[in-house]
């Protein structure tokens, strides 16, 4: 069985069943303009599809560059290739006379309504939780409020951690391993705990898992498999067998 994902196409590998093709656009409707709020991979893809259908497209980005999470993640160890998503769409959109981009545009609902666009596409993305809710925990984890909790967003914003750092990876894709590598490069003593039997479990499907584990081991990362985190206190975490 082939397993795959796409950062932009939500029905990737389902096209045959949905009767959908990425290069065949629906005809333009009676309206003429669209405001796309957010310029991550979803926002850029929406703008690209809409402008080709003939709409006048305005992209409102709260920050100062296009790309959203792929622009941020492409700066992490081993993920530079992610930048191709942003670079490709940024160039294509720059060639379209019916697309305008506005940076530093952090819009409220009232702001959006005041502009008077006929259509609005919200593509504002998501942020990482810091309360432990994921696969193992469907409710908030027990966390001592005096313990500082950081998320991938914090580290991508430039937060540098030192000393003993525990990474609890219940994402199982690639982020846990990448952040462990980043922190180890910066001199932290890293312990990576995951309920999975593998570090960055999903990368078994891309044939990268073994090399990821080996690289982290060479960097001195303490890898703890098949264990979850049940409680976070001021100077330790409590784990359990998964």
Do 116 and 46 lie in one domain? The reply is: yes
Domain boundary among 122, 152, 176: 122
- Whether residue 8 is predicted with pLDDT greater than 70 in this model: the reply is no
Predicted pLDDT at 23: 73
Predicted pLDDT at 206: 87
Task: Tell me the per-residue pLDDT of 141-156, one tens digit each, with 9 for 90 and over.
Answer: 999 999 999 999 999 9
Whole-number Å distance between alpha carbons of 126 and 241: 30
Do 175 and 80 lie in one domain? The reply is: no
pLDDT band at 3 (very low <50, low <70, confident <90, very high): low
Do 148 and 222 lie in one domain? The reply is: yes
Do 94 and 159 lie in one domain? The reply is: no
- 88 in any annotated domain: yes
- 149 in any annotated domain: yes
Domain around 188:
142-241
Domain boundary among 87, 122, 157: 122
Beta carbons within 8 Å of 139's beta carbon, 6+ residues apart: 133
Predicted pLDDT at 16: 77
Question: How many domains does the structure of the chain reveal?
Answer: 2
Q: Give the pLDDT mean for 26-38.
A: 94
- 7 in any annotated domain: no
Predicted pLDDT at 17: 78
pLDDT band at 174 (very low <50, low <70, confident <90, very high): very high
Predicted pLDDT at 26: 82
Task: Tell me the per-residue pLDDT of 38-67, one tens digit each, with 9 for 90 and over.
Answer: 999 999 999 999 999 999 999 999 999 999
Do 103 and 168 lie in one domain? The reply is: no
Do 115 and 171 lie in one domain? The reply is: no
Do 117 and 186 lie in one domain? The reply is: no
- 69 in any annotated domain: yes
Nearest to 38 by CA among 18, 58, 53: 58
- 107 in any annotated domain: yes
Task: Tell me the per-residue pLDDT of 110-124, one tens digit each, with 9 for 90 and over.
Answer: 999 999 999 999 999
Q: Give the pLDDT mean for 190-198.
A: 97
- 236 in any annotated domain: yes
Task: Tell me the per-residue pLDDT of 62-90, one tens digit each, with 9 for 90 and over.
Answer: 999 999 999 999 999 999 998 998 999 99
Q: Would you state the structure tokens that stand for residue 122, as one six-digit string? A: 């919200």
Do 118 and 148 lie in one domain? The reply is: no
Do 24 and 117 lie in one domain? The reply is: yes
Residue percentage of the chain with pLDDT more than 90: 86
Do 172 and 205 lie in one domain? The reply is: yes
- Whether residue 33 is predicted with pLDDT greater than 80 in this model: the reply is yes
Do 75 and 34 lie in one domain? The reply is: yes
Identify the CATH number of the domain in which residue 214 sits. Answer: 3.50.50.60
Do 147 and 181 lie in one domain? The reply is: yes
Pair type for strands 227-232 and 142-143 = parallel
- 134 in any annotated domain: no
Strand order in the sheet with 189-193: 164-168, 189-193, 222-224
Q: What DSSP letter does each residue of the chain carry, written as one string?
A: ------SS-TTTT-HHHHT--TT-PPPP-S--EEEEE--SHHHHHHHHHHHHTT-EEEEE-SSSSS-HHHHHHTTSTT-GGGHHHHHHHHHHHHT-TTEEEESS----HHHHHHHT-SEEEE-------SS--SSS-SS--EE-TTS----HHHHHTT----SEEEEE--S-SSHHHHHHHHHHHTT-EEEEE-SSSSTTGGGGTTT-HHHHHHHHHHTT-EEE-SEEEEEE-SS-EEEEE-
pTM of the model as a whole = 0.85
Predicted pLDDT at 44: 96
């Amino acid at each position: 069985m082939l397993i795959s994902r796409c950062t932009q196409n939500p029905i990737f590998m389902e096209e045959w069943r949905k009767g959908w093709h990425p290069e065949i656009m629906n005809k333009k409707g009676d309206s003429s303009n669209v405001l796309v709020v957010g310029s991550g991979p979803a926002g850029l893809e929406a703008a690209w599809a809409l402008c080709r259908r003939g709409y006048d497209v305005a992209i409102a980005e709260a920050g100062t560059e296009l790309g959203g999470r792929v622009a941020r993640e492409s700066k992490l160890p081993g993920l530079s290739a992610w930048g191709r998503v942003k670079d490709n769409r940024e160039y294509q959109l720059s060639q379209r006379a019916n697309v305008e981009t506005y940076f530093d545009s952090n819009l409220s609902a009232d702001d959006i309504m005041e502009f008077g666009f006929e259509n609005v596409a919200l593509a504002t993305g998501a942020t990482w939780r810091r309360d432990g809710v994921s696969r193992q925990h469907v409710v908030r984890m027990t966390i001592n409020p005096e313990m500082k909790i950081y998320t991938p967003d914090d580290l991508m914003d430039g937060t540098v951690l030192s000393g003993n750092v525990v990474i609890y990876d219940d994402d199982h894709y690639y982020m846990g391993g990448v952040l462990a590598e980043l922190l180890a490069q910066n001199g932290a003593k890293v312990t990576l705990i995951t309920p999975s039997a593998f570090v960055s479990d999903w990368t078994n499907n891309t044939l990268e898992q073994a090399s990821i584990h080996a690289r982290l081991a060479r960097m001195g990362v303490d890898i703890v498999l098949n264990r979850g985190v049940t409680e976070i206190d001021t100077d330790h975490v409590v784990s359990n067998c998964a």
